[in-house]
A and B are shown apart, each in its own frame.
Chain A
Amino acid sequence: MDEPYTEIVKDHFFNPRNVGEIRDADGVGTVGNPTCGDVMTIYIKVKDEIIIDIKFKTFGCAAAIATSSILTELAKGKMLDEALEITRDDVANELGGLPAIKLHCSNLAADALREAIKDYRKKNKR
Chain B
Amino acid sequence: MNALLTDAIFDPIRIPLDRWFNDFINWLTFNYRPTFQAMKVPVEALLDGVSAVLLWLPPVVFIALVALLAWRAAGWRIGALAAASFTLIGMVGLWGLTMVTLSMVAASVLVCLIIGLPLGILAARSDRFQGALRPVLDVMQTTPAFVYLVPVVMLFSIGTVAGVIATIIFALPPLIRLTDLGIRQVPDDVIEAAEAFGSSEREVLFKVRLPLALPTIMAGVNQTIMLALSMVVIAALIGAGGLGRPVVEGLNALRIGQAGIGGLAIVLLAIVLDRLTQAFGEGSAAKRG
**A in complex with B:** no
Report B's interface with A, CB cutoff 8 A: none
